[in-house]
Structure 1
Amino acid sequence: MEDHAAASPSPQPDLTRKRLPTLFEVLSRRTLPPVDLFSFYIYMRDQQRSVDYLDFWLDVSQHMSLCRHYVRELRRSVLVSTPDPERASKRSSGILEGLGDLNYAAVAGPSMYTSEKEKDQDARMSAFLREDQEIGYDSAQGSDGRQVRPGQNISTPHEITDSNSPAHAVARQDIRASAEKILYTFLLPGAEREITLPGSITQDVTTAIEEFGRDDPEVFDVAKDYVFQAMERDAFPGFLRMKALGNLIPPTLIMRLILGLVSMFGGFWAAFVLIFLNESRMVRLWLILPFTIGVYCLASYQYSLDPIIALIGFSEYTPFNYSRVREPYVRKLLAHRAIMVLTVTLLVDAALCVLFILVPGKRL
């Protein structure tokens, strides 16, 4: 998880959002705990048991970033060292010049969420990488006759501004190795972390990489769109229910259910014993303790929410480990639900205590 979800600075979160976030916003690191990418990763790992799908998505995103870094550095190198466009492939130079600065954050987003400008730039980048693969554009000749590689300093050192870009120069073989790693890790039958995709998608990606030698980002477009839709349909609704409408995880909920049932059983047993022993009401006041614990635990289990923890602004992400709720809309939503759960708990607890404390005793 540390290699992906918490790897780099994220785009600025939308603090004015007055709704629950979308999956794309979570994957783009535009949300805050408890509905951030780190929490979603833990949910996919521990609850959904399908973290390989998310890792595939993140690896494709990293591959996209690698390609963008390579093309951006190559473009800078060529523009600085080759003022005469006749020295390089005219078609490749034209594609490079038309790419723009490639400064927006590289996110392997589904096609339906990508702007037309980003689609055009990504298509041009993939076209250039295919052209580069065909003519061996990995090194371009500069105006002084030197060989210029992407990432090589031509004039003055520069900083990499893309937060997802590697801190070192990227060679074309790095992109090839990245594409093959994704293929051999997630897509080939019997792979170490094989994900389930339609056979036609897997076959198309395998053919493109192994037979045609492609490694441009468009190779994975259909696969990543399918994975996105699968996560959006099968995993994301449950994630929002757990993290935006509650603040407890299943192992803790089971413990609260057991504790609640035991406390309620002990409360009812003690209540009937004290009534039939004709004990005073002052003695029976001790029934408040088991009934309060029991009702509170059962209410927490029913609503997947600990109201006191929610009101002080925390959410559980692993057993007995809590993080502060920082997403404004989720914080308000949890606070409202906590007040509701607390009200229900107090009413039920008060009713049970009044019933068993004030009822007349009769010694058998």
Structure 2
Amino acid sequence: MATASSPTSEIYRRNGFPSLFEVLSRKTLPPVDLFSFYIYMRDQQRSVDYLDFWLDVSQHLSLCRHYVRRLHRSVIEDTPELEKETSKRSSYIVDNAGEGPSTEMATAASDQRLSAFLRSDHGSRNHSPQNSHGSNKSNQSISGLERPPRPSFMTNTNSPGDDSSSPGQNSSGPDNVPKREDLRASAEKILYTYLLPGSEREIIIPQGILQDIQEAIEGPAQRSDPELFDAAKDYVFQAMERDAFPGFLKSKGLGNLVPPSMMMRLIIGLLAMFGAFWTAFILIFLDKPKHIRCWLILPFTIGVYALASHQYMLDPILVLVGYSEYTFMDFAQMREPYVRKLLNGRAMMVLVVVILVDAALCSLFIFVPGRRL
């Protein structure tokens, strides 16, 4: 059931392009959803490691939240019956801490409470549920740059605070319950995968931020709380918002084609126009009748349409039937209302341009007097 605060109602109230935070929070629909942004970062921006770092840190936050919830449940189960109500009330704030990314002002305090609890939790191992498979199961990441997007990108029905929507998480059974060692393994994996110089998928962040994170994880404190990644996460978020996100909105919000498809249309358009002009001059100099020259409409239409599609980065017919291209010759239905409305208007404008240019060229070469050489 949709409520006033549900992602669906927010989508239909939006009268503009979404923000990067909305995209990363899975509050948008194709063609400006998280899946499309991941494809754009991988294939066009060539900086998908930054997005993967941000998502892995968010996944680490979800893992910490899940750990704290199960820890408090186990504490309550071991508490005498008369003290259970008091224990439930006192642990409610920590149990619900960390709901939402650290970039949301309304949830910054709860994230800090979650991290403060994890830093002060020294005896939690006695209450940690057993039979955990560890972060190898909950924090799997694919090593190559050209790997497929995460399966969780394909779902958009879970609320952002729901553990079931976290990548790689399945809290339905006891075998997936994390332990404190899993939190540390998750933090170390992020450090060794993305941050250390020469790491497998190194991203560039300020040296001061890197040193603080390395000292917090490898130093005496041996921290694993999500707050230690806040500075790096915010830096990566701002870098994506400044360098990648405007191009993504331009590509998906003002067009519906990817660069390989645009290049294909440019080649087809140039070849079609060359063939049209070559044929037109031959028919004129052979003094062919006008009903034969009418066949020039076909190559001129193909050429003008293909060149206009390349110039405006959209295929008007695909837009009008409601599809956008996210990889070469792979299409997805457009479901974001504002984007579809905007692209429909641009598609009609492009079609008018195509018709006018095509009509002018065909009229010129069909009705010009012929002269046999």
After superposition, residues 234-273 of structure 1 pair within 5 angstroms as 234-273=243-282
Q: Does residue 125 of the first structure (1) align with residue 114 of the second (2)?
A: yes
The match for 1:219 is 228
Name the structure 2 match of 1:194: 202
Question: Given residue 30 of structure 2, which amino acid in structure 1 is its aligned partner?
Answer: P
Aligned residues: percent identity? 62
The one-character-per-residue Cα deviations of 1:283-334 (angstroms, maximum 9, x if unpaired) are 1101101110000000000000000000000000111110000111111111
Q: Deviation digits for residues 15-43 of structure 1, max 9, x if unmatched?
A: 22111111000000001111110010000
1:114 is aligned with what amino acid?
M
Indicate the SS of the match to 1:192: coil
Give the letter for the 1:362 counterpart: R
Q: Which amino acid aligns with 2:212?
A: D
What is the letter of the counterpart of residue 278 of structure 1? D
How far the C-alpha of 1:170 sits from its partner, in A, is 1.3
Counterparts in 2 of 1:300 and 1:236: CA distance versus 1, 3 Å: same
- Which residue of 110, 114, 119 corresponds with 2:105? 114
Give the match for residue 75 of structure 1: 72
Q: How well do the aligned residues superpose, as a CA RMSD in angstroms?
A: 2.4
- The answer as to whether partners of 1:267 and 1:291 remain within 8 angstroms in 2 is yes
Q: Which residue of 346, 358, 361 corresponds with 2:367?
A: 358
- Pair 1:204 & 2:204 matched: no
Distance of aligned partners of 1:94 and 1:161 in 2 relative to their CA distance in 1, 3 Å threshold: closer
1:62 maps to a residue whose letter is: Q
SS in 1 for 2:124: coil
Equivalences for residues 57-68 of structure 1 within 5 A: 57-68=54-65
Tell me the CA shift for residue 137 of structure 1: 2.1
Quote how far apart the aligned CAs of 1:95 are: 11
- Further displaced range: 14-23 or 245-254: 14-23
1:229 pairs, out of 220, 223, 238, with 238
Structure 1 85/149 Cα, relative in aligned 2: closer, same or farther at 3 Å?
farther
Q: Deviations over 1:34-89 (max 9, x none)?
A: 11100100000000000000000110010000000111111222234225999xxx
Instruction: State the one-letter code of the partner of 1:189.
Output: P
- TM-score, structure 1 length as denominator? 0.85
For residue 176 of structure 1, the aligned residue among 150, 160, 184 is 184
**SS of equivalent residue, structure 1 residue 138:** helix
Q: Which residue of 2 aligns with 1:137?
A: 124
Separation in structure 1 between the aligned mates of residue 365 and residue 162 of structure 2, nearest angstrom: 68
C-alpha distance in 2, partners of 1:210/1:96? 32
Return the letter of the residue paired with 2:125. D
Deviations 1:220-252, CA, capped at 9 Å, x for gaps = 000000000000000001111111110000001
Residues 278-293 of structure 1 correspond to what in structure 2 (within 5 A)? 278-293=287-302
Structure 2 CA distance for partners of 1:330 and 1:249, relative to 1, 3 Å: same
Give the gaps of 5 or more residues in structure 1.
1-9, 87-92, 141-147, 153-159
Contact residue 69 and residue 166 of structure 1 kept, 8 A:
no
Q: TM-score, normalised by structure 2?
A: 0.83
Give the deviation of 1:200 after TM superposition: 1.0
Give unpaired runs (5+ residues) of structure 2. 1-5, 133-160
For residues 151 and 325 of structure 1, what CA distance do their matches in structure 2 show?
44
